[in-house]
Amino acid sequence: MAQILVVEDNDLNLKLMKDILESQGYEVETAKDGQEGYDKATEKDYSLILLDIQMPVVSGYDFLKMYKKETPIIVVSACAMDEEIKKTKELGCADYITKPIKLNEFLTTIKKYL
Give residue 81's pLDDT: 87
Which strand (E) or helix (H) includes residue 77? strand 73-77
What's the pTM?
A: 0.96
Name the residue type at position 38: Y
Give residue 66's pLDDT: 96
Report the number of secondary-structure helices (H) and strands (E) in the chain.
5, 5
Q: Strand 95-98 to strand 73-77: parallel, antiparallel, or no bridges (unpaired)?
A: parallel
Mean pLDDT of 18-45: 97
Is it true that domain 3-112 has CATH number 3.30.420.10?
no
Quote the CA–CA distance of 53 and 20 in Å, as a whole number: 20
Domain boundaries, the chain: 3-112
Give residue 80's pLDDT: 79
Quote the CA–CA distance of 21 and 5 in Å, as a whole number: 10
- pLDDT 10s digits, 44-102: 999 999 999 999 899 999 999 999 999 999 999 998 789 999 999 999 999 999 999 99
Quote the CA–CA distance of 58 and 78 in Å, as a whole number: 17
Give residue 14's pLDDT: 97
Mean pLDDT of 29-58: 96
In sequence order, which residues have a C-beta less than 8 Å from that of residue 90 and are 6 or more positions away? none
Give residue 61's pLDDT: 95
Residue 6: pLDDT over 90: yes
